């Protein structure tokens, strides 16, 4: 009567006595800092797997364990540069988003899942040599450029780097604005990137809803020439200009049309060109 089932239950190992701590998540990395900017935006840093190699501008899959016991993963640009000891991410908080409704509550010491397989097209290898490099972004599309702006290769390859970031409200620019201010003030960054090189960087933030010194969609400001007038640079030219684009699908398509109209061709890892594009999110 005792039967096999009872015996097995008795013998099922009880893990409380296990001496070594096993990671609770597969591919687990530990959160080292978290910073919130608005009720929709935050950034965080995690430990970096020793074996992870990536090119500044690439993205990986990260996430948390879902309620069903399976990993819930999403694509995230690595916002830190390839040389950094840790990994940084800049994230949206979607109120009912399967991942970010939970991810927004992470704290220092918590674990996240990180699949160490970086990919992406916003990399220097996918662009032909040029003189002026534009980074066009909206919202969290700033993230891959947060990596590339801290990458020495960016300044070695170009005479001028123009970072445009468009958001609805002024607060949404904070992460990018602070990062650029730090670049120009931080001694370690100045030493790494070169003080003279940092002079090549021009930052062009705009808002579409809340009042700010520069308002308007970047597409409008390209079309009416204000962007070039404000920065004192010539209009887009395929002989000298290169671009990387990261925003919503609609934004990407609008910028792509403007770049193609100016004679620039889209590139890829397999065939470098004059501009490259990546979606900041799907939907
Ligand atoms: C190549 C790639 C790189 C990405 N990099 C980042 C990144 O660096 N930071 C980041 O926050 N997200 C990034 N995303 C989006 C990310 O993968 C998730 O969509 C996001 O984390 C929300 O996850 P979720 O499960 O909460 O909601 P989801 O179910 O994934 O999304 C729900 C809805 O929220 C909206 N949404 C999702 N992400 C964003 C966003 N970033 N900005 C505005 N609206 C959004 C969309 O309308 C979407 O349909 C990237 C996506 C891709 C394809």
Q: Whose CA is nearest to atom 5 of ligand 1?
A: 76
Q: Whose CA is nearest to atom 18 of ligand 1?
A: 74
Do 160 and 127 touch, CB atoms closer than 8 A? Answer: no
Centre of ligand 1 to C-alpha 190, Å, is 32
- Which residues fall within 8 angstroms of residue 111, CB to CB, at 6 or more apart? 23, 24, 25, 28, 29, 30, 31
Atom of ligand 1 nearest to the CA of 278: 1
Whether the per-residue pLDDT at 3 is higher than 60: the answer is: no
Select the more confidently predicted residue: 24 or 131: 131
Whether the per-residue pLDDT at 139 is higher than 50: the answer is: yes
Q: Whose CA is nearest to atom 45 of ligand 1?
A: 281
User: What are 194-226's pLDDT values in tens digits?
Assistant: 999 999 999 999 999 999 999 999 999 999 999
Whether the per-residue pLDDT at 15 is higher than 90: the answer is: no
Do 228 and 234 touch, CB atoms closer than 8 A? Answer: yes
- What's the whole-number mean pLDDT along residues 32-51? 97
**CA-to-CA distance for 195 and 184, rounded, in angstroms?**
8
| 46, 50, 88, 107, 143 from 30: Cα distances, Å | 5, 13, 12, 10, 20
Extract the tokens encoding 226: 């204000």
**Paired sense of beta strands 132-138 and 241-247, if any:** parallel
At residue 111, φ and ψ (nearest 5 deg) are -110, 145
Q: Which domains does the chain have, with CATH numbers?
A: 28-119 (2.40.30.10), 124-279 (3.40.50.80)
Q: Is the minimum distance from the CB of 91 to ligand 1 under 6 angstroms?
A: yes
Q: What is the pLDDT of residue 14?
A: 44
R_g (Cα) of the chain, nearest Å: 22
Q: Is the minimum distance from the CB of 172 to ligand 1 under 6 angstroms?
A: no
Substitution candidate for ligand 1 out of 43, 44, 62, 74 with most atoms within 8 A of CB: 74
DSSP 187-208: HHHHHHH-HHHHTTEEEEEEES
Q: Is the minimum distance from the CB of 57 to ligand 1 under 6 angstroms?
A: no
Q: Whose CA is nearest to atom 24 of ligand 1?
A: 97
């Amino acid at each position: 009567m005792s039967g096999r089932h009872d015996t097995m239950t008795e013998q099922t190992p009880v893990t409380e006595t296990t001496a070594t701590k096993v990671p609770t998540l597969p591919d687990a990395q530990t959160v080292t800092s978290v910073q919130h900017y608005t009720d929709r935006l935050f950034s965080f840093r995690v430990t970096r797997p020793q074996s992870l190699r990536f090119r500044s501008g690439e993205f990986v899959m990260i996430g948390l364990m879902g309620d069903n016991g399976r990993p819930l993963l999403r694509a995230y640009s690595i916002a830190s540069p390839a040389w950094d000891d840790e990994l940084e991410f800049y994230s949206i908080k979607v109120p009912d988003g399967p991942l970010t409704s939970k991810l927004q509550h992470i704290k220092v010491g918590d674990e996240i899942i990180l699949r160490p397989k970086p990919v992406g097209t916003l990399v220097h290898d996918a662009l032909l040599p040029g003189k002026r490099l534009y980074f066009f972004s909206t919202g969290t599309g700033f993230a891959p450029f947060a990596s590339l702006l801290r990458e020495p290769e960016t300044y070695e390859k170009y005479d001028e780097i123009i970072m445009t970031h468009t958001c609805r409200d002024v607060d949404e620019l904070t992460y990018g604005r602070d990062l650029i201010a730090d670049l120009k003030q931080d001694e370690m960054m100045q030493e790494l990137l070169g003080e003279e090189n940092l002079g090549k960087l021009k930052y062009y933030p705009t808002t579409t809803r809340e009042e700010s010194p520069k308002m308007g969609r970047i597409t409008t400001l390209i079309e009416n020439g204000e962007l070039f007038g404000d920065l004192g640079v010539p209009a887009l030219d395929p002989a000298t200009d290169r671009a990387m684009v990261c925003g919503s699908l609609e934004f990407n398509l609008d910028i792509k049309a403007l770049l193609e109209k100016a004679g620039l061709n889209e590139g890829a890892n397999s065939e470098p060109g004059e501009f490259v594009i990546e979606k900041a999110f799907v939907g």
